[in-house]
Structures are given as structure tokens and as C-alpha cells.
Amino acid sequence: MKSSVAHMKSSGHNRRETHSSYRRSSSPEDRYTEQERSPRGRGYSDYSRSDYERARRGYSYDDSMESRSRDGEKRRERERDADHRKRSRKSPSPDRRSPARGVRQSSPQEEPTWKKKKDELDPLLTRTGGAYIPPAKLRMMQEQITDKSSLAYQRMSWEALKKSINGLINKVNISNISIIIQELLQENIVRGRGLLSRSVLQAQSASPIFTHVYAALVAIINSKFPQIGELILKRLILNFRKGYRRNDKQLCLTASKFVAHLINQNVAHEVLCLEMLTLLLERPTDDSAEVAIGFLKECGLKLTQVSPRGINAIFERLRNILHESEIDKRVQYMIEVMFAVRKDGFKDHPVILEGLDLVEEDDQFTHMLPLEDDYNPEDVLNVFKMDPNFMENEEKYKAIKKEILDEGDSDSNTDQGAGSSEDEEEEEEEEEGEDEEGGKVWLCKHSGMR
């Protein structure tokens, strides 16, 4: 018994010596690793409940140790990233740092070519024409360009043409229509016929109350340049059809009113009016009946003069709608008022207002354009396009303008040979161009170009 106790003491003493010698020989890192691998000497809080149960039941600790080591690596990685972000916030940005010695700085002259092109982009070459340029500055820029057929000069002349046409169309009224026509013919409206058509349609749509003035303007231009009147009428028909398809009552009202006044001015044929009324009253609704009544008020007297059978059929259709169709009371009242207007002879709705009958019957050009045909609105004429024969076309228009406005050399010679009394009479006629007789005299005198 004593021998066994002595043997146990000696073996315990040997184990302590072995353990102490191992601790002296092993490094701190090895001891830390060994402590991590062994669960002995660690508290319960160092590992989870599941690991404790696995250890108590004799399971292996390898899986839990590997997962904890991976978690530790991820935690250390997050700490390193956080330290790196803190250092980056404290350190200055690369743009604010002072340039390193020996590094060659790029000069403004060595910027990339694409950046130069972007900075040097001409505002006149953009789609909208860029910022506003005063007319005096625009003329000065045009004078500085020696090549009159260049892209820059053509673009500047196009911008000047667009602004001039828009300004003249916006200023026109009954009293100054003859003066506006003279100024408008000074511009190349053959080249800018798309701009002119768009300006007229936009102005009429914005101010339907001045439709009779715009119709008279179109009638005068149509007597000189029928292709411009045809283009305006085509776009007007397309606008009406678009409004009818979309159930846009306002667009139908403005377009039909303009068509009615163009029919009164003999720019459009009365067949177009009958086709539009038939379409509106074929399947009547409250809106279509209202548009038809407004249209009929504007051109009813003209239809009574040129097509009495056609207008009788239209009023018969209105009577059937009034008695048979289920329409709103307001529309029924409008139809009854329309019959009363017809009975009074359209006295409040004349064909042409006083002061706007400015085109002689021999100079009128009437377009026969059906409602259902396919038309090309020629929207490409609204935008700038370089003309390779720019100067040649400009000279052609100058010749046409001289013929229309009597600015030729032969006319100036005859004016010089005439007596002083004739000169005074001509000056008086030009001054009286604002009233109806003066407008007719001027248009009759300058009606050599159809």
C-alpha cells in the first residue's frame, strides 16, 4: 500500500515536471493554440451550450473549433476594414493631395480632343438653335462669315428666317395685314414654307378668334405660292382627322374653323366641307354634333351660295338627329339655334369680314383636297437642312420677289419717268393700304405671280 502511494506521488511529480518543462520549452503562441484546442481550464462562457453538451457526451470538438476559428477570422477581417475606412477618412482625398515630386502635370493645352469638341460646340448647330441671339449680333456674325454657302452661314440665316416669320405672324391683324404681307414676302418663304405653315397653324390654334385674319393671310400667300397654301391645308386636314380619332373636341373645333374660313376665301373647295359635316353627323355624339354646328355657322352662308342641295341635306340630317337621336338637351338647343341662324340668312356670320377680301377672283387658287386621302405633312421642312445650291436658290427667290413687289429695274425706271402727280397718287395708295380698297389695289397691282 505504501509502495503504491509512493508510486502515485512520484508519477504526479514526474507529470508536473514534464508539464513545467513543456511550458518552458513551448512558445506563447503554441501555448495559446493548445489552450484553444483543449476545453480544460476554460470557463463555460467560452463556448456555446451545444458545444458543451457535445463535449459532455463525448463528441469531437473539431467542427465547433473550425466554425469558431472561421468566425474569428471574419471578425478580424471586419475590424481591419473598419480601421482602413477610418484611416481613409482622416487622410486627404487624392484630388486635394499635393502632387508628388517628379510627376508631370497635364496642361490645359493637353486636354483630350473630345473635351475640346464638347466645349467648342456651336450653339447654332444644336437642334433648338441654342441661346437667344439678338438680331444685331446675328447679322454681325453673318457678316463675319465670308463663305455664304457654308453650314454656319446657312444655319444662321435659317434661325433669322424662323424668328422673322414667327414675329410677323404674331403681329398680323386686320389693320396691318397688307404691311405684314409685304414684310413677309421679303423673307424667303419658299425655303421656310414649313416654318410658315407651322407658325400659322400654331397661332390660329392659340387664338381661334383671329382665324379670319390668318385665313386672309393664307389666301394672299396662296395666290402667289399655291404650294404653300396646299401644305397648310394638308396639315390642317391631318390635324382634324387626328382630333377626330382621339375624340379631341378642342382640336376638331379649331381645325374645322380654320378650314371653314379657308373655304370662304376659296383656298379650299366646298366638297371638303360637305365631307367633314357628313363624317361628324354620320354617328352623332354630343361632341361631334357641337363641332358640326360650329363648323356650319362659319361656312353655312358660303355653302348656301355654292351648294344649296348639299346644305339642305346637312340640315335634314340635323333635323333627324334632333327628333330621333338621344343627345343632350344643350346640343338639342344648339341645333334649334342653328335652324334660326339659317332662317335669318347667316347675317351674323358673313363669308368674309370687311377689310379681309384682299384677293381678286382671278388670282384665287382653289385646292381640291378630299378628306380621306393620304397626305404627307412634310415635317422635314420644319427643321434645318443644308442646301448645296443655297446661293442659287436665294437668287431665284430674289427674282420672284422683285416680280411680285415691283422692285425690278424696269419698274424703277418707269417710276422715275412718271410725273410727280402719279408719284403722289402711288404714295397715297400705299398709305391707304390698311383699309380694304388700299389692300385690293396693292394686291391687284402685284398679282403677276401665281
pLDDT digit string, tens, across residues 297-353: 999 999 999 999 999 999 999 999 998 878 899 999 999 999 999 999 999 999 999
On whether the CB atoms of residues 346 and 207 are closer than 8 A, the answer is no
On whether the CB atoms of residues 295 and 277 are closer than 8 A, the answer is yes
Confidence band, pLDDT 50/70/90 cuts, at residue 440: very low
Distance, CA of 404 to CA of 411 (rounded, Å):
11
Residue that is written with C-alpha cell 435659317 in the block: 158
119-134 core/surface letters (b: 16 or more CB in 10 A; e: else)? eeeeebeeeebeeebe
Nearest to 160 by CA among 181, 180, 140, 139: 139
Distance, CA of 188 to CA of 184 (rounded, Å):
8
Q: What is the pLDDT of residue 4?
A: 52
Residues 378-409: tens digit of each pLDDT: 999 999 999 999 999 999 999 999 998 874 44
Residues 262-273: tens digit of each pLDDT: 999 999 999 999
Residue 285 sits in a domain whose CATH number is 1.25.40.180
Number of H helices, E strands in the chain: 20, 0
Look up residue 56 and give its three cell numbers: 459532455
Q: What is the pLDDT of residue 411?
A: 45
Nearest to 174 by CA among 216, 111, 227, 204: 216
Distances (CA, A) of 364 to 91, 201, 205, 236, 403: 83, 21, 25, 19, 18
| Residue of higher predicted confidence among 57 and 411 | 57
pLDDT at 13 over 90: no
Residue 212 lies in a domain: yes
Q: What is the pLDDT of residue 256?
A: 96
Distance, CA of 198 to CA of 229 (rounded, Å):
12
Distance, CA of 343 to CA of 398 (rounded, Å):
51
Q: What is the pLDDT of residue 42?
A: 46
Q: What is the pLDDT of residue 124?
A: 54
Q: What is the pLDDT of residue 85?
A: 78
Residue that is written with C-alpha cell 473630345 in the block: 114
Distance, CA of 271 to CA of 369 (rounded, Å):
8
State the chain's mean pLDDT as an integer: 78
Distance, CA of 422 to CA of 435 (rounded, Å):
20
Strand partners, 264: none
Compute the residue count for the chain: 450
Q: What is the pLDDT of residue 130?
A: 53
Residue 393 CA from chain centroid, whole number: 30
Strand partners, 268: 367
3-state SS assignment for residue 434: helix
Beta strands, E only, 183-239: none
Q: What is the pLDDT of residue 44?
A: 46
The total domain count for the chain is: 1
Q: What is the pLDDT of residue 268?
A: 96
Q: What is the pLDDT of residue 145?
A: 77
Distance, CA of 47 to CA of 252 (rounded, Å):
83
Q: Got the DSSP string for 1-50?
A: -HHHHHHHHHHHHHHHHHHHHHHHHS-HHHHHHHHHH--TT--GGGS-HH
| Residue of higher predicted confidence among 115 and 70 | 70
Helices (H), 96-150: 113-119, 135-144
Residue 184 lies in a domain: yes
Residues 368-383: tens digit of each pLDDT: 999 999 999 999 999 9
pLDDT at 84 over 90: no
| Residue of higher predicted confidence among 358 and 46 | 358
pLDDT at 18 over 70: no
Residues 29-74: tens digit of each pLDDT: 555 444 444 444 444 444 455 555 555 555 454 555 666 777 778 8
Q: What is the pLDDT of residue 11?
A: 54
Q: What is the pLDDT of residue 119?
A: 47
Say which amino acid occupies 249.
Answer: K
On whether the CB atoms of residues 446 and 411 are closer than 8 A, the answer is no
Q: What is the pLDDT of residue 251?
A: 96
- Taking every pair of Cα atoms in the chain, the longest distance, rounded to a whole number of angstroms, is 166
Look up residue 394 and give its three cell numbers: 436665294
Residues 116-149: tens digit of each pLDDT: 444 445 555 554 455 667 777 777 777 777 777 8
Q: What is the pLDDT of residue 144?
A: 76
Show the domain range for 166. Answer: 138-382
- CB neighbours of residue 263 within 10 Å: 25
The dihedrals phi and psi of 408, each to the nearest 5 degrees, come to -75, 170
Coarse DSSP helix, strand, coil percentages of the chain, rounded to the nearest 5 percent: 70, 0, 30
Sign of the CA dihedral with 394 first, then 398, 399, and 404 last: positive
pTM for the whole thing? 0.65
Residue 324 lies in a domain: yes
Residue that is written with C-alpha cell 361631334 in the block: 288
Those residues with Cβ within 8 angstroms of residue 300's Cβ, 6 or more apart along the chain or in another chain? 311, 341, 342, 346, 349
Residues 167-220: tens digit of each pLDDT: 999 999 999 999 999 999 999 999 999 999 999 999 999 999 999 999 999 999
Distances (CA, A) of 386 to 3, 54, 117, 144, 381: 122, 88, 21, 19, 12
Distance, CA of 171 to CA of 39 (rounded, Å):
99
